[in-house]
Structure 1
Amino acid sequence: MGVHIFGAVSSPSIANYALRAAADHARDKYGPDVEHTIKTNFYVDDYLKSVPSEEQALRLVKDVTAALKARGFRLTKFVSHSRLMLKSIPQKDRSKDLQTCDLDYDELYVERALGLQWNIENDYFTFSASLDPKPFTRRGILSTVCSLYDLLGFVAPFLLPAKRILREVCQDSSLGWDDVIPEKYLKPWRRWLDDLAILSNLKIPRCVKPKEFGTVTSTQLHMFSDASNEGYGAAAYIRLSDNSGRISIALLIGKSRVCPVKATTIPRLELTAAVVSINLAQHILKELQITVDQTFYHTDSTTVLHYIFNDRKRFPIFVANRVKVIKDFSENTQWRYVQSKENPADIASRGFTSQQKLNSNIWFDGPYFLKGPEELWKNDMPHGVVELEGSTSFAVHPEDGEGNAVDKFLEYYSSWHRLRMAVAVYHRLFSILKSKRQARINGSFTAEELDAAEKAVRYIQKKTFSKEVSLLQKSEGSRGRGLCSSSSIYKLDPFIDPKDRLLRVNGRLSKAEISAGEKHPMILPRKSHITTLIIRYTHEKLAHAGRNHVMAKLRELYWIIRTNASVRQVLQRCVICRKISNPVLNQKMADLPLERVIPAAPLTHTQVLTSLGHRKSKKEGKSGREHAGRLDDESYRTLLTEVEAIVNDNPLTTVSDSPDDLQPLSPAQVLIQKSSVVMPPPGVFQKGDMYLRQRW
């Protein structure tokens, strides 16, 4: 097929294939430069190329034109700021406005290129601020914002206030697309429209290398990122050094985005801005047709630097995913700290009016410190972030140390039983090392060794209620009188038990004939990994009982702040309970048979019952006996007794929030005058009895 129709779905792909085929054929005759130019410098049907000298431009245009002409492509409508270049182009192949222009005397006109206005005579970019008036509605605001096409983000901070107004208008559910916006949106919108005219005075040099610049000896890419409550953004600058020691800084690309509607913390926005900086740098390194020697990333957020430099702490999913992107495309040695006043991305994150932007040299020219020697800024690091020997960098956190190590140890376990066993192992190991004797670390543990796991509770109490513990230690024996009334445990009249140094509830039940744990339960915070493990362990031990039953059982040893909410949260995440509580699926009943819906005399339609159902029941009963045959009589009675004990232990009343009240009444207390769920006996079990755990 030699001819293809225009406008088909496959037309863009076919045109691109033909262009690349022409580049492949031009490789042998015209060299790799022509091939690379054809493959990388065409944007749809526009050819954009910049070269260092006029001689190179003349030669490249001649070869590219000949190579494409040989494959059926004719380049036309040439535009260049070099008059020598334009004179070498036939008049019919120049741009329409240049065909009637006297290249010796007339001034070259302004050309539009990808949303920008290119002043050919002076070789700089500018913007056109003459927009058609639009109604003051959501649709009109959206149309005006989209009319300013800023591909390279030169005026991205100026567009940020308009985008914020558009977001606020869209969030207002009372406004439709064609409703006039109220005064609270109209006033800032008119102010922004008034500043729009100043953009026409903006002049951005097209070439990032000054004319008087010498031979480039160093090329660096500097990325800046920042975030605020209003938005986040990034800016890319190229730093050139010549053989005479002169330095040139130029803005390449800017990005500015509004904050998401969902509330997000500033550190997370700063991390998101750093990811934008990484992606922007990768795009520039791919598209920039000059060799970049070094790439540096600058941020004024020490939190982001801590995230990047820390190789020891586990982060939440949001942070971990973005830190991974940063580490995949950059090294720790590439990141630098910059003060907020010297960070040009601060403008992109907050937005400015056009007049403020025109007066701000830091946005277009970059920070002043980049124009100085590299020794003054190359090793800048924030306070609290240090580099150790070698290439690995670490972030120093105030909480790093013994406390952080204990937190990691406690959070490692997802079961209270396993955590108690682990604490018992460490407790035995410390005892062996302290006494300098030889003994086995593993093996059976005594009840006293398992009770050593309560040290984890003591650690959580000291960490969460540090002020309360400190005041109680100073006022030993006063039992909570020195606490502030705003404390979450003030009403519990807490005291520190001299036996185990645990924080316990005082109450008025010290003379009651109940266990010591019920008299003075241990205080636990609401939000704690240990608290979650204890609630989950109790819930599973009670065969996934309900919330009130779990709360009553917990109150025998622990007093959890806001017990009801904590237990409800854990039970809602229980997979087994969610499966059990799901509604049973009911099958839709079939239509009634014909005999039952047609009027007829009595006993017209009858049916004889057979004994199939009886035989089926016997078969099912036989299967049930075979399945139950795995348990002998003693085991079966034990199972039923445990089920009976759990059911009878379910409280008949709600659990009180007052430390002065007794435990709620249960059927077991009425029948046998005590709690029915009996804990395992203390001491060391015989090895022959350990098979019971595997059996059950």
Structure 2
Amino acid sequence: MTSHPFGGIWCASSSTYALRKAVEDMQPCEEVKDTLLWSFYVDDMLKSVASPQETIEVIEDTRSVLRHGGFNLTKFMINDVKLLESIDEQDRAKEAKELTSNMHSKVLGIKWDVENDCFFFVSKGVQTQNVTRRVMLSQLASTYDPLGLVLPIIVPAKILFQEATRLKMSWDENIPISLCQKWLKWITSLYEISRLRFPRCVLPLEWNGCTSELHHFCDASEVAFGACTYLRTIDQDGKVHVALLASKARVAPIKGVTIPRLEISAAVEAAKLDVVVKRELDIPLLKSNFWSDSTIALAYIQNETRRFKTFVANRVTLIRQVSEANQWHHVSGDENPADVLSRGCFVDNLPASWFNGPPFLSNYKCAWPAQDNLVGHLQDEDPEVRREVYPTSIVQMCQSGVTQHPIDTLIEHYSSLYRLKKAVGWWLRLIQFLKKKIPQNSPLEIHELKHAENLIVKHVQGRAYFHETKNIEAGKTVLKSSSIYKLSPILIDGVEWTLSRVRKKFWIIRGRKLVKRVKMDCIVCKRLYGAPMNQRMSDLPPRGVNPGGQPLARQGYPSKVWSDNGTNLVGARAELARSVRDLDRSLIVRETRRRDVEWSFNPPSASHHGGVWERMIRKLYISHIKWDMNLLTVRMKNYRKMDLT
């Protein structure tokens, strides 16, 4: 295939690949190679050089290389009339066929005043009384401004379009009269946009050996936020030149957002602009400077001790990835050129600082705004500051006098029951360490996790059934209105509780045995805690097994597996042990501990330890023998009948 239909989505990538392939085959000099690789956008070349001689060399060398690759570089437009005259007329752009003093061209969709070497814009707004959301969006898209040079003038239209969207109107429904009048006023002011001029050259040609740095300004309001970037250059004689490079602005979300959040979002736009501009500029730059009139946003960025909620935390992290805290400075709202991005304006109201930055940028650093004590400290009451949550409430009690139970604190902190049990288990270990001073660094055992689970359940039950617990402790019955009345609730440690109450005043020899005997003979105790008449099924014994079905798939994981020392089972265990040697042991320990599974063998030749399943095996064995004997008896009878016949 030697050609592609024009306009296909593959055209850009195909032509770019062919262009780079030509460079690879020809191996031109570095100057031409850089021009072909970095100064082309699909089939358009944009190149800026310092002298007419360099211009001629770039044109001739580039055309020579491309000619060998099958490309014909044509449609030249140069901002030097003498150089343009040296180009054949058929190779000039159509705007330059006749050399006039008022030549205009396009540079990637942007109007270019060739004689004055400036960019400008032309309004395409159309006055119409039937203004709909579709019309508004169409006119917004017709103003092509990739660098954001006239973005302050476009922001009011974006705000009006958002207001129409907030009213939930359809695309072809006329907007309200009040909104339509504002829109038509903006369209009228847009006709004056052609008066604005933006120099294409941001670095003076006669300045050699100069130093350059980027300055980014950001601001936000209730309706919009944005950032703009300026290039500040100082020559060897101390002259300062400042030029606007780019800007970016967004309307505030329809869902209400606080001003501090919008301010930090504007700072993010400034950080993004810094990355993009640095990547595109091919001149050496000093460290960038960032300016904001929001002290709270600067406090967020320069914070080193506080933790923020997700919205602010994510944006501060992005900002700190591309900049340092000492690069951010405070500027007053009157001197912030980004203020016009956050509110928008008409052409007549566009301030001079938008083109050349605030006046202090044209002075030396000693005349810049002072930064002493302008950024305040974050307060605990700040809604974006995350409140510290400690793993136990002991520290909280010491710091703020809060008497919340440690288990309540852990329940609020964790959303996983397993992680909660681990936290309580480690907390119990800490208590034991503080009492006995014996450190334990091994992982939590299953019995520790079970103890932690029981402690959690008891605590939650005590909180949920506080009055019921108090009634039982006082020897009273549970009220019939209680949701657990029909369950006949009792306290497991009733004997211990009774004994402790008695020992507050008297010490009874063999008191525990006496309390148990009295409890057995107590009529009230029997009435309150006696077993009901209907028989209830008891819990399965800890060593009970389920003989039928698939225990893992249907009944879940067992808490403990018991088996005898049969050769097949012992061999299986040994085979499993060999298989898991190369596995992640810590993972296995965590998973088995999570499911509370243990596997224990009976002593060899001690089948009586497994009486439950041995009895079941014997029963199945006898049943199988009886079935075989019955089958054999039937077959013998049939055989005799056949023999008699």
Displacement, 1:209?
3.1
CA offsets per residue over residues 15-48 of structure 1, 9 Å max, x none?
1111111223343xx4111111111111122111
Q: What is residue 391 of structure 1 aligned with on the other side?
A: none
The CA distance in 1 between the partners of 2:245 and 2:459, in whole Å, is: 73
Displacement, 1:320?
1.6
CA contact (8 A) 1:299 1:338 kept: yes
Q: What is residue 138 of structure 1 aligned with on the other side?
A: 133
Q: Secondary structure at the match of 1:235?
A: strand
Q: Does 1:150 align with 2:154?
A: no
Would the alpha carbon gap of residues 664 and 78 (structure 1) be closer, same or farther in structure 2, given more than 3 Å must change? Answer: farther
Would the alpha carbon gap of residues 647 and 255 (structure 1) be closer, same or farther in structure 2, given more than 3 Å must change? Answer: closer
The letter of the residue matching 2:211 is: S
Q: Does 1:40 align with 2:38?
A: yes
Would the alpha carbon gap of residues 419 and 140 (structure 1) be closer, same or farther in structure 2, given more than 3 Å must change? Answer: same
The letter of the residue matching 1:23 is: V
CA offsets per residue over residues 71-102 of structure 1, 9 Å max, x none?
11111111111012212211110012322x1x
Q: What is residue 511 of structure 1 aligned with on the other side?
A: none
Q: What is residue 413 of structure 1 aligned with on the other side?
A: 390
Q: Which moved more, 1:244-253 or 1:213-222?
A: 213-222
Q: What value does the CA root-mean-square deviation take over the aligned residues?
A: 4.0
Q: What is residue 165 of structure 2 aligned with on the other side?
A: 170
Would the alpha carbon gap of residues 145 and 210 (structure 1) be closer, same or farther in structure 2, given more than 3 Å must change? Answer: same
In structure 2, stretches of 5+ residues that fail to align are 419-445, 469-477, 502-592, 597-645
Q: What is residue 97 of structure 1 aligned with on the other side?
A: 95
Q: Secondary structure at the match of 1:294?
A: coil
Q: Secondary structure at the match of 2:210?
A: strand
The CA distance in 1 between the partners of 2:269 and 2:133, in whole Å, is: 28
Alignment match of 2:241 (pick from 248, 261, 264): 248
CA contact (8 A) 2:393 2:404 kept: no
Displacement, 1:376?
2.5
Q: What is residue 155 of structure 2 aligned with on the other side?
A: 160
CA contact (8 A) 2:125 2:187 kept: no
Q: Does 1:233 align with 2:226?
A: yes
CA offsets per residue over residues 597-624 of structure 1, 9 Å max, x none?
xxxxxxxxxxxxxxxxxxxxxxxxxxxx
Q: What is residue 371 of structure 2 aligned with on the other side?
A: 381
Q: Does 1:368 align with 2:342?
A: no
The CA distance in 2 between the partners of 1:372 and 1:251, in whole Å, is: 16
User: Superposition pairs for residues 347-366 of structure 1, below 5 Å?
Assistant: 347-357=340-350, 360-366=351-357
Displacement, 1:651?
6.0
Alignment match of 2:176 (pick from 182, 189, 202): 182
Q: What is residue 59 of structure 1 aligned with on the other side?
A: 57
Q: Does 1:205 align with 2:205?
A: no
The letter of the residue matching 1:69 is: R
Displacement, 1:214?
3.1
Alignment match of 1:82 (pick from 75, 80, 83): 80
CA contact (8 A) 2:127 2:187 kept: no
In structure 1, stretches of 5+ residues that fail to align are 386-394, 401-406, 424-452, 461-529, 541-569, 578-629, 653-662, 684-693
Would the alpha carbon gap of residues 242 and 384 (structure 1) be closer, same or farther in structure 2, given more than 3 Å must change? Answer: closer
The CA distance in 1 between the partners of 2:463 and 2:76, in whole Å, is: 90
The CA distance in 2 between the partners of 1:168 and 1:50, in whole Å, is: 43
The CA distance in 2 between the partners of 1:647 and 1:204, in whole Å, is: 71
CA offsets per residue over residues 126-156 of structure 1, 9 Å max, x none?
1112434453111111111111111111111
The letter of the residue matching 1:13 is: S
The CA distance in 2 between the partners of 1:191 and 1:302, in whole Å, is: 35
Q: What is residue 515 of structure 2 aligned with on the other side?
A: none
Displacement, 1:275?
1.0
Q: What is residue 71 of structure 2 aligned with on the other side?
A: 73
Displacement, 1:107?
1.8
The CA distance in 1 between the partners of 2:122 and 2:237, in whole Å, is: 38
Would the alpha carbon gap of residues 325 and 666 (structure 1) be closer, same or farther in structure 2, given more than 3 Å must change? Answer: same
Displacement, 1:177?
1.1
TM-score for both structures, normalised by structure 2: 0.63
Would the alpha carbon gap of residues 351 and 10 (structure 1) be closer, same or farther in structure 2, given more than 3 Å must change? Answer: closer
CA contact (8 A) 1:651 1:664 kept: no
CA contact (8 A) 1:224 1:343 kept: yes
Displacement, 1:331?
1.7
Would the alpha carbon gap of residues 78 and 535 (structure 1) be closer, same or farther in structure 2, given more than 3 Å must change? Answer: same
Would the alpha carbon gap of residues 340 and 347 (structure 1) be closer, same or farther in structure 2, given more than 3 Å must change? Answer: same
Q: Which moved more, 1:149-158 or 1:108-117?
A: 108-117
The letter of the residue matching 1:118 is: W
Displacement, 1:157?
1.0
Displacement, 1:675?
11
Q: Secondary structure at the match of 1:327?
A: helix
Q: What is residue 426 of structure 2 aligned with on the other side?
A: none
The CA distance in 2 between the partners of 1:2 and 1:138, in whole Å, is: 45
Q: What is residue 128 of structure 1 aligned with on the other side?
A: 122
Q: Does 1:22 align with 2:22?
A: yes
Displacement, 1:281?
1.0
Would the alpha carbon gap of residues 140 and 6 (structure 1) be closer, same or farther in structure 2, given more than 3 Å must change? Answer: closer
Alignment match of 1:312 (pick from 292, 305, 319): 305
CA contact (8 A) 1:232 1:256 kept: yes
Would the alpha carbon gap of residues 2 and 225 (structure 1) be closer, same or farther in structure 2, given more than 3 Å must change? Answer: same
Q: Secondary structure at the match of 2:288?
A: strand
The CA distance in 2 between the partners of 1:348 and 1:648, in whole Å, is: 56
Displacement, 1:223?
0.8
The letter of the residue matching 2:74 is: T
CA contact (8 A) 1:129 1:196 kept: yes
CA offsets per residue over residues 378-423 of structure 1, 9 Å max, x none?
x8425254xxxxxxxxx744669xxxxxx99x93424xxx323x57
Would the alpha carbon gap of residues 2 and 665 (structure 1) be closer, same or farther in structure 2, given more than 3 Å must change? Answer: same
Would the alpha carbon gap of residues 13 and 457 (structure 1) be closer, same or farther in structure 2, given more than 3 Å must change? Answer: closer
Q: Secondary structure at the match of 1:243?
A: coil
Displacement, 1:534?
7.1
Would the alpha carbon gap of residues 172 and 13 (structure 1) be closer, same or farther in structure 2, given more than 3 Å must change? Answer: same
Would the alpha carbon gap of residues 163 and 664 (structure 1) be closer, same or farther in structure 2, given more than 3 Å must change? Answer: farther
CA offsets per residue over residues 351-389 of structure 1, 9 Å max, x none?
1111101xx111111010011112222x8425254xxxx
User: Superposition pairs for residues 490-639 of structure 1, below 5 Å?
Assistant: none
Would the alpha carbon gap of residues 650 and 374 (structure 1) be closer, same or farther in structure 2, given more than 3 Å must change? Answer: closer
The letter of the residue matching 2:373 is: H
CA contact (8 A) 2:231 2:245 kept: yes
Q: Secondary structure at the match of 2:242?
A: strand
The letter of the residue matching 1:296 is: N
CA contact (8 A) 2:124 2:143 kept: no
Q: What is residue 469 of structure 1 aligned with on the other side?
A: none
